[in-house]
Structure 1
Amino acid sequence: MKVLELYSGIGGMHYALRESGVAAKVVTAIDINPVANAVYRHNFPETILMNRNIESLKVQELNKLDLDAIFMSPPCQPFTTLGLKKDALDNRARSLLHILDLIPELKSLRYILLENVKDFGVSQMRNNVVNCMENCGYVYRELIVSPCQFGIPNSRNRYYLLAKRKNLNFCFKQPLLKNSLPSELLKLLPKSKHSTLAQKNGKVNTKSGGMCYTLENILENIEESKYLLPSKLLQKRAWVLDIRTSENNGSCCFTKGYGHYAEGTGSVYCPFSDEMIKLKYNEASNRENNSDKRVQLLSDLKLRFFSPKEVCRLMCFPGDFNFPKHITDRQKYRLLGNSINVHVISRLILLLYTENET
């Protein structure tokens, strides 16, 4: 199977394809972000990588690739509150509209996998995609999936569309589009190291209702001072932080603002117990705002950002993935925030590729 990886970023879809075990090859990857492309090229030097605007793609050049599949994660900003939810009218949605114009002319194309933020599922653009699928003779399935449903201690609800030619069968019926993967679908998938670890020593995750392993399993030995939250941040944002310990089995979605903004961009780590955190916060709340004593009490908790490596592990990038030396931590967080969960996509590739119900 020949795969075109659009909006290829740092190669999350490529790693997911490799993890799935499906006999396939990424024949070309395309992205316009030069920093992301540097990371992609570093990890996949053998893959043809084009640094270009997707809107410049022509039907003729794609047909020459004899493509079987397109995997893509288009820009999410048109469907987010921060992006003003301009939907299909957003200039950043134009490249996906262009792809929808090309799909009817791609003669060999059989499979499509699209990932985006949850609100894509209620957008006009989603309607455009579905109309394209129906008009071009594809059947499709839509899912809302989060890594915590697979035993991974991270919440990252995302919309997925899986589509294939009508002469190909899906191994499952369209489930209700809700914030969880039906248990019968999970049973279709093979055991993984994540589900095995979660069953072995995990805890019930309140988000998914299933078992997730603890954050202890993704922590690395690092120089804490490098990632400690600065005093100014503690003064202003200490009460909006999502704090996690090694014994917790969940974390918030990491976004591209992580490490730069504190609120709503991801969880932070504390090396002490939940009881100690509560004690210190209670003490601090009795001190004057912005007082040195209050800041010291909060600083005693040694709150830090999760390292880029730890975020990579939560997003299931394999151990051999790494960043070029010139990439800064801030760039790493931005790239990871725009990427995908490798393991989740690998399972969805299996569901897309499998035809017979088991």
Structure 2
Amino acid sequence: MVQMHGFFLLPANLTRAKKDTGDARAFSFLQILELMPFLLKPPSLLFVENVVGFETSDTHAKLIEILDRTNFVTQEFILSPLQFGIPYSRPRYFCLAKRKPYSFVNEVWNRQLIQSPRPLYEHFHTAVIEDDSSQEDRHKLLQSCQPIESFLELKNPSNNIEVESATSLTGLSNGNPRTLGEGDDDVCDTSQQYYVPLSLVERWGSAMDVVYPDSKRCCCFTKSYYRYVKGTGSLLATVQPKKRDKASLKEQCVRYFTPREVANIHSFPEDFKFPDHISLKQRYALLGNSLSIAVVAPLLQYLFTTNL
């Protein structure tokens, strides 16, 4: 029987530093690694998650070195929800580790960096990793995803909303790339709070990632989503334009995904709810720092499947 399990979650922006082991945010993780050889009852299973790029860092090298030294076998993955039929581009690094005599059911993947979910489902026979990097494979991957509309809370946005009214409801007319909620923590009940001001569309439209209900992909939501419009996640066009281009954004009534919709895209269960006292900004921040259940659940199931 497994005596103890470990779960490590590293800082998401750790690998941006040139010397990541010198980053103070990595200190606690490195301390845990250094202590592992001296534990009387070391964990039998480990699960590590980080951003893509961690696999080339010196902190990663330290992780693998210590796991090897403490009798662990590893299988590493880079996976995205897109590979599980979810229209969400959020690739992340994962390391699964088991301490001997425990072993993975398919040992052919040991000490490999895997970029396919196939080993999670084909437990009991060997397989060859296919190259998913070609344009044709990426197209097939996107086509296999569910459309964005399957995850929407506000499924029937009105096409009669005047663009000017959406602007006035946000209460912002300056060019600062911020939106309603920057100085107000109250959670508003009206869906109109999610519409992006025209001033921001005019200034930052060229940098926005805009998707549509029938889209098969959206960008990663960050903890700054709803506070800033540039580089924090996709926006949804609620009015179908004749031509989907940046020139017509002002007529598309662009809005933010609601927290419930972001949770849906993260594959959170339907009964998931935030406590009432959690503000709108805090909800987005927590969701931006969360994990995709569609990816993590099969990884954990695979990790807990053992030959012993």
* Amino acid aligned to 1:132: I
Q: Which residue of 2 is the match for residue 228 of structure 1?
A: 195
Q: Which residue of 2 is the match for residue 72 of structure 1?
A: 8
Q: Which residue of 1 is the match for residue 133 of structure 2?
A: none
Larger displacement relative to structure 2 (314-323 or 220-229): 220-229
**In structure 2, which of residues 276, 280, 304 is the aligned counterpart of residue 329 of structure 1?**
280
The normalised TM-score by structure 2 is 0.77
1:93: how far off?
Answer: 0.5
* Amino acid aligned to 1:143: F
Q: Which residue of 2 is the match for residue 128 of structure 1?
A: 62
RMSD: 2.5
Aligned equivalents of 2:143 and 2:99: distance in 1? 33
**1:244/1:225 Cα in 2 relative to 1: closer, same or farther (>3 Å)?**
same
Aligned equivalents of 2:218 and 2:80: distance in 1? 12
The answer to whether structure 1 residue 100 and structure 2 residue 36 are counterparts is no
Q: Which residue of 1 is the match for residue 116 of structure 2?
A: 181
Mapping for residues 157-236 of structure 1, pairs under 5 Å: 157-172=91-106, 173-174=108-109, 177=113, 180-188=115-123, 206=139, 208=141, 211-221=144-154, 223-236=190-203
Q: How many residues align?
A: 259
Q: Which residue of 1 is the match for residue 75 of structure 2?
A: 141
1:260: how far off?
Answer: 1.5
Q: Secondary structure at the match of 1:141?
A: strand
Aligned equivalents of 2:7 and 2:140: distance in 1? 28
Q: Secondary structure at the match of 1:93?
A: helix
1:182: how far off?
Answer: 5.0
Structure ranking higher on relative contact order (CA contacts 8 Å, 6+ apart): 1
Q: Which residue of 2 is the match for residue 262 of structure 1?
A: 229
1:255: how far off?
Answer: 1.0
The answer to whether structure 1 residue 306 and structure 2 residue 242 are counterparts is no
Give deviations 1:291-348, integer Å, cap 9, x for gaps: xxxxxxx433110011111111111111222111121111111111111111211100
Q: Which residue of 1 is the match for residue 163 of structure 2?
A: none
The answer to whether structure 1 residue 155 and structure 2 residue 89 are counterparts is yes
* Amino acid aligned to 1:93: A
* Amino acid aligned to 1:89: G
C-alpha contact (below 8 Å) 1:205/1:211 kept by paired residues:
no
1:353: how far off?
Answer: 1.4
C-alpha contact (below 8 Å) 1:277/1:301 kept by paired residues:
no
Structure 1: tracts of 5 or more residues without a match: 3-66, 190-203, 285-297
Q: Which residue of 1 is the match for residue 220 of structure 2?
A: 253
Q: Secondary structure at the match of 2:225?
A: coil
C-alpha contact (below 8 Å) 2:102/2:307 kept by paired residues:
no
**1:210/1:159 Cα in 2 relative to 1: closer, same or farther (>3 Å)?**
farther
Larger displacement relative to structure 2 (226-235 or 127-136): 226-235
Aligned equivalents of 2:257 and 2:43: distance in 1? 40
Instruction: Tell me the percent identity.
Output: 35
Structure 2: tracts of 5 or more residues without a match: 125-136, 158-189
C-alpha contact (below 8 Å) 2:78/2:93 kept by paired residues:
yes
